[in-house]
Amino acid sequence: MNDGWMNMLFSFLWPFITLALYTTLIKSHTDNQWGWGWFRGNHSSLSDYEEMYSYFPEDKRYRRIEDARTMFQFGYDNYMKYAFPFDELDPIHCTGRGSDGEDPSNLNINDVLGDYSLTLIDALDTLAIIGNNSEFKHAVQLVIDNVSFNNNSTVQVFESTIRVIGGLLSAHLLITDPSQPFGDLEPDGYEGELMEMAYDLGIRLLPAFHNTTTGLPHPRVHLQNGVPSDGINETCTAGAGSLLLEFGILSQLMGDPSFQDVANEAARALLDRRSNLTGLLGNVINITDGKWTGLQSGLGAGSDSFYEYLLKASIMFGNSSYLDAFNELYSSMKRYMRRGRSNCRTGQGETPMYVNVNMENGKLVNTWIDSMQVAFAGVQVLAGDIEEAVCNHAMFYAIWKKYNALPERFNWASKQPDVLFYPLRPELIESTYFLYQATQHPYYLHVGSHILDSIETYCKSKCGYATLHNVLTKTKEDRMESFFLSETCKYLYLLFDKDNHVNKAFHRYIFSTEGHLFPLRSEYRSKPWWDSCGTDGTCSKVKPVKLPSNISQCLNIAPERHYPLPLSSHYLEQIDKMVGLM
């Protein structure tokens, strides 16, 4: 072949060679970058995971907003029709339930239900967020007119604080926000009754902190008589330490530092009892002698919200000692609880995961993880460790894909659930929402869409949404816990409603562990009792901090584009295999 023919052939092929090299270069680059700003033009080369998750149509997102609203409204309307003024709805038999007075030992019910219209109070701010202002006003008036805390009920301090005090304070703050970002929410003649009711309940809970030499609260109080004479002297870490937000805000609003003082003391009592060797906490502690009776250290039930509240209280109140404590604990978690490869999104090795260990030596104590642990992915987002959050979340979503629900406990060694029920918990959708806010990646819209469809398909009942008694058989249990409306539906709705005020001003709010919306205010950092105290006992006042008008700008992503996944396809496949999905 002569030189002329060679030059002609080379001239003909060169554009294709250039295109191939360019495509390879772009693919190599995007495979190693986050997925919210890089165009993936060659759709035919997408993996199955990328084909499924790298694009979410706008028209579908709009439909999902209405689907989430409809889900909430169906549960709420049926609660109001069949259950109010009782605490919860039984969605199968279409009736209400309150505390179990016949069996005081039924803690599964009595720890939560105090005969104070729990579901209505817990759902108040969700009504505002979804834009049902008229029903919000009506519901607030019903609470004011019908709810009393002078009840013959023994309740758990933690649950009544996060669900009831939190619900009342959040609704009050939304009503009294002078800018009214959710529209007019103020009922006629409102005079701060919700705040006064929160204060009344708070006063009834304070005896839990009396007569304990450690500063750790009794886990339960009788709403009329204080601490029961036959009450136990043990509490879990989360129960004792997760009062910082609600009690702190209550102190701010009422000008009474008592609540913050006791919450602060309880948190410090826990932190002072970290292991000298590992820096970890146990999960159950004796409030009398301060000795750990449960040595398991993990991220799930019994511990989870304490870590969360250390970080959130540092943001809300500007207390640097809380932030220092969170960072120290997180470092210990990574050292002793974390398993797998060093980096979530790169390198070789097993999928990173956090396991349950002995607080004293960091050794593995069991091979299960529980469903509440996935909420820590949202905490990791808030802490800025998005890469760790991506892997943490992905593992729990793989379990959801396997069962169309999240069993209470999943054994990662046997790849089977140890505890089979799913009570409509919000933690997976909560962390999905926070990861979407951080990344704007369509993958998380797909995750939320799948969760919404699963709940609609397997949990919907005649009069609401029911707990799954068994995630394998999908048999139901006749209970709709209040957090379904307070958290699960709220986070589903906010995930898809990108134009909601909460999402437009995401940096101006903190969500409580019950999903209640609390505004960040600089005046919360200026009260004289908000001290940042060192380990040597010296304290310095925290100066008021002016909140910035805008913390971050999210990228505008063209909806027709496809984007590389937050976690590469081969890592997602690895996780699916790990949980027994493949």
Cα(494)–Cα(503) distance, integer angstroms: 7
Beta strand segments in 435-514, E: 460-461, 464-465, 467-468, 476-477, 509-511
Going from the C-alpha of 542 to that of each of 98, 271, 351, 522, 538, the distances in angstroms are 43, 21, 41, 11, 13
159 is annotated as an active-site residue: yes
Question: CB neighbours (10 Å) of residue 66?
Answer: 12
Fill in the amino acid letter for 441: H
CA atoms within 13 A on the CB side of 140: 30
Q: Given the residues 408, 478, 487, 514, select the one marked as catalytic.
A: 408
Active-site annotation holder among 50, 246, 304, 497? 304
Contact 143, 194 (CB under 8 A): yes
Q: Are 466 and 411 in contact (CB under 8 A)?
A: no
For residue 405, give the DSSP letter: S
Three-class SS of residue 480?
strand
Q: Is 456 noted as a catalytic residue in this protein?
A: no
> Is 409 strand, coil or helix?
strand
Query: What is the Cα–Cα distance from 476 to 467, expressed in whole angstroms?
Result: 6
427 in active site: yes
Active-site residue (options: 87, 111, 159, 370): 159
- Whether 573 is catalytic: no
Cα–Cα distance, 451 to 91 (Å, whole number): 19
What is the token pair recorded at 82?
């069949």
Say if residues 97 and 109 touch (Cβ distance below 8 Å).
yes
From the list 135, 427, 430, 514, the catalytic residue is 427
Mind telling me the catalytic residues?
159, 304, 408, 427
